[in-house]
Amino acid sequence: MSKHARPRGLPVDGVERPTADGWTFPARNPATAEPLWDVPDAGITDARDAVTAARRAFDATQWSTDADLRADGVRRLAAAVADHADELVALMAAETGVPVALRDAHLDDALAAMTTGSQGDPAGVTVVVTPATAPLSVALAEVGRVLVEGGTVVLKPAPEAATAALELGRLALDVLPRGVLNVVTTRDVDVAIALTLDERVDAVSLSGSPVVAERVQVAAERAGKRVRLDVGGPSPVRVGDDEDLEAVVSAAAYDVAANAGQGCRLPASVVVPVHRHAEAMKVAVEAMADVRVGDPGDPATRCGPLRSVVARDRVRRYVDLARSEGGDVALGGQPLDRPGWWFAPTVVGGLAPGSRLVREEVLGPVLMVVPG
């Protein structure tokens, strides 16, 4: 894609380098479970080197003080990403199963916003930790924000979405000053903790699960860092007596099915009047049954695979929990019988508003219709 092609090293301090220990881990295609390529598995030494580079770029260059330099750099990075957008979309489909049909939400919208940030106080050296559910959109948004504000970045993506972040770092090698954007990919959460504890880091931005966010927040705040967290959360919708039930339920199904339900603040629960529950279930089943499930590289696909076997099994446990709570699994409710990490579009009715499935993020193609 960029001129800095595979083999896949870490884009750190203006060059692409192997990890200090030579470690890698395999990226797998979630649609087939087959290995794709090896990803650098960074350790503590690599993390420290990335912070050293970001600190030098902030302290010893004009990046933090020259607004015109930053604006030009961010524009050039956005242009480089735009030039390779089709390839990046295909890469996300292969590595994390994001359907190419969802490119607006997962690339184009964030890219369009990259150059519109406001100038503020310099963000300093910022560690940006991004989730597997949004392989590039969060990275583009947060990297763009920090760079526009005069900061430098160490980007630490989720391991399931590592290659997209690496490619962003490679593109940056061609257009940004040395050390402004560094990428550290790893399976080791302790490396992320080490980044947040490094005394040379000024701020931490994390989007991801509440469990990881809690660990990072505690470590970062104890170390005196500024912390910016986005852990998502469920966004149930409520249908009143006089509202268009079919429109609301169908829209919720459409949103929950996208990317197999792997997104933040999805309307995974629709709360309906008790006397309209049966009507809502019928609409939900019809809408979810119409969802196109298939190859994420096919523009007609809306629901691809789960990003990992862990993610698929997490959804299965939630559906099993729904059954144990007396929920009516009216559609789906099981993995699809095919290679890879697939789960059938699912509709669950009859759960109480206090159910864990309603209160927590399932992160799967599961729509709950809740009487209440």
Q: Tell me which long-range contacts 326-335 makes (C-beta under 8 A, separation of at least 24).
A: 326/350, 326/351, 327/351, 327/355, 327/357, 327/368, 328/281, 330/281, 330/284, 330/285, 331/284, 331/285, 331/288, 331/289, 332/288, 332/365, 332/366
Mean pLDDT across the chain: 93
What pLDDT does 1 receive? 45
Taking the whole predicted model, whether its pTM rises above 0.75 is answered as: yes
Q: Which residues contact 230 (CB under 8 A, 6 or more apart)?
A: 138, 206, 207, 264
Backbone CA torsion sign across 173, 179, 181, 185: positive
The confidence band for 103, taking pLDDT boundaries of 50, 70 and 90, is very high
Q: Which residue has the tokens 């020259």?
A: 66
Q: Which residues contact 315 (CB under 8 A, 6 or more apart)?
A: 261, 306, 343, 362, 363, 364, 365, 366
What pLDDT does 121 receive? 63
Q: Residue 182's closest CA among 253, 128, 120, 234?
A: 128
The confidence band for 138, taking pLDDT boundaries of 50, 70 and 90, is very high
The confidence band for 119, taking pLDDT boundaries of 50, 70 and 90, is low
Residues 218-271 have pLDDT tens digits of 877 888 889 888 887 889 999 988 899 999 999 999 999 999 999 988 999 999
What pLDDT does 208 receive? 78
**Which is higher by pLDDT, 21 or 123?**
21
Judged against a pLDDT cut of 50, whether residue 279 lies above it is answered with: yes
Backbone torsions φ then ψ of 190, nearest 5 degrees: -65, -25
Judged against a pLDDT cut of 80, whether residue 216 lies above it is answered with: no
What pLDDT does 122 receive? 66
Rounded percentage of the chain residues whose pLDDT exceeds 90:
83
The confidence band for 3, taking pLDDT boundaries of 50, 70 and 90, is very low
Q: How far apart are CA 183 and CA 185, in angstroms?
A: 7
DSSP 116-154: GPPP-S---EEEEEE-TTSTTHHHHHHHHHHHHTT-EEE
What pLDDT does 219 receive? 79
Q: What is the mean pLDDT of residues 85-107?
A: 97
What pLDDT does 293 receive? 98
Judged against a pLDDT cut of 90, whether residue 6 lies above it is answered with: no
CB neighbours (10 Å) of residue 98? 34
Judged against a pLDDT cut of 70, whether residue 5 lies above it is answered with: no
Q: What is the mean pLDDT of residues 274-302?
A: 97
Judged against a pLDDT cut of 60, whether residue 367 lies above it is answered with: yes
Domains of the chain by range and CATH? 10-230 (3.40.605.10), 237-371 (3.40.309.10)
What pLDDT does 338 receive? 96
